[in-house]
Amino acid sequence: MKQRILVTGGAGFIGHAMIERLLSLTDYEIISLDRLDTSGNLNRLSNILEENQQWRNRLKIVWHDLKSPLNDFVINKIGKVDYILHLAAGSHVDRSILYPLEFVMDNVVGTCNILDYARVHCKDLKLFLYFSTDEVFGAAPEGVTFSENDRYNSGNPYAATKAGAEELCVSYENTYSMPIIITHTMNVYGPRQHPEKFIPIIINKVLSGEKLSIHSNPEQTEASKRHYLHSTDVADAILFLMNNYKIGDKYNIVSNTETDNLDLAKKIAKILDKPLNYELIDPKITRPRHDFRYAISGEKLKNLGWEQKISLEEGLQNVVQWTLQNEEWAK
């Protein structure tokens, strides 16, 4: 019998990339669980199904808002599953600052509901993977890189709710002996990303000639620093972990390259062969505490045998060309 995988947030940006890799590299049957809000968009799944009509027979889409426990209809619709990849989450930092309780409901309560579904209804579950973020560690001073089990220091409500959901996962693994692992990753980019995210914003601003605002230090002399990883690499790392994990462990999914956001914008402008009109701004108005730099160590996963395949330069070239050919996704 084929393996069956439940992907929460499957119509989201990272969720749909995960489903695309599962469809193309495995023979698994996939159930996408989504509520279709600001981030979720079924057209992502429709687009990838157009690539191969036979994939339609292996993908089932189930609607449910994880703020509520899964009812019998939804449970029966999902059916038996062997793996759960919990990728569903509210993820925009500025919105979490404006509406923190919404993020508590989506990220903490939603995680508790899917954990409890798994605890009660998935007795033969092989793996529950919780997809978290490098932001739980907070800002990383220059020269500091956080490992998987370093202390948390959330700088915003989004990060705090992801950290809270992680602790729920740890408690369920300890209390109920569930097969749970946790991943952290950094800024993910790729095709079909929501236009509110930074790389789509850069592409749109450069194309239109509008001024791009780039978060900086308070002195407005240095742009914020981040690691960017292509969504295909993220999905491949999760696939790797599905065959190489230790229950109860945490794993950082890390890119090889750290870049400041001004250099990132310049790279994209160069690919587009257009000038970059920008300003460095201290984001204290929208983010009272802005994390200037994030950094996590990828040594653990590297030592297991996984490494990034798509360089930042190659990935940016890919996503810029894809966006130019699919302008409807940039609006």
pLDDT at 308: 96
- Active-site residues, by number, are 134-135, 158
Paired strand residues for 85: 7, 129
pLDDT at 289: 65
Question: Which pLDDT band, with edges at 50, 70 and 90, does 174 fall under?
Answer: very high
User: Are the beta carbons of 199 and 239 closer than 8 angstroms?
Assistant: no
pLDDT at 288: 64
Separation CA 324–CA 137 (nearest Å) = 35
4-189+228-257+296-310 placed in CATH 3.40.630.10: no
pTM of the model: 0.94
Of how many residues is the chain composed?
Answer: 331
Dihedral, CA of residue 267, residue 233, residue 237 and residue 123, to nearest 10? 120
The token pair that represents 202 in the structure block: 């850069």
DSSP 233-258: HHHHHHHHHTTS--TT-EEEE--S-E
pLDDT in tens, 187-208: 999 999 988 889 999 999 999 9
Calculate mean pLDDT across residues 77-84.
98
pLDDT at 329: 79
pLDDT at 92: 84
4-189+228-257+296-310 against 198-225+258-293+317-330: fold identical:
no
Asked whether residue 326 carries a pLDDT value surpassing 80, the answer given is yes
The residues near 31 (Cβ < 8 Å, ≥ 6 apart) are 4, 5, 6, 7, 10, 59, 60, 61, 62, 78, 79, 81
Question: Which pLDDT band, with edges at 50, 70 and 90, does 290 fall under?
Answer: low
211 three-state secondary structure:
coil
Q: What is the mean pLDDT of the chain?
A: 93
The token pair that represents 177 in the structure block: 């002996």
Q: Which CATH superfamily is domain 198-225+258-293+317-330 in?
A: UDP-galactose 4-epimerase, domain 1 (3.90.25.10)
Asked whether residue 5 carries a pLDDT value surpassing 80, the answer given is yes
Separation CA 267–CA 319 (nearest Å) = 12
45-51 contacts: CB < 8 A, separation 24 or more? 45/10, 45/11, 45/16, 45/19, 47/192, 48/16, 48/19, 48/20, 48/23
Query: What residues does each domain of the chain span?
Result: 4-189+228-257+296-310, 198-225+258-293+317-330
The token pair that represents 259 in the structure block: 């870049």
Task: List the end-to-end C-alpha distance of the chain, in Å, as a whole number.
Answer: 42
pLDDT in tens, 242-278: 999 999 999 999 999 999 999 999 999 999 999 999 9
Paired strand residues for 4: 29
Asked whether residue 227 carries a pLDDT value surpassing 90, the answer given is yes
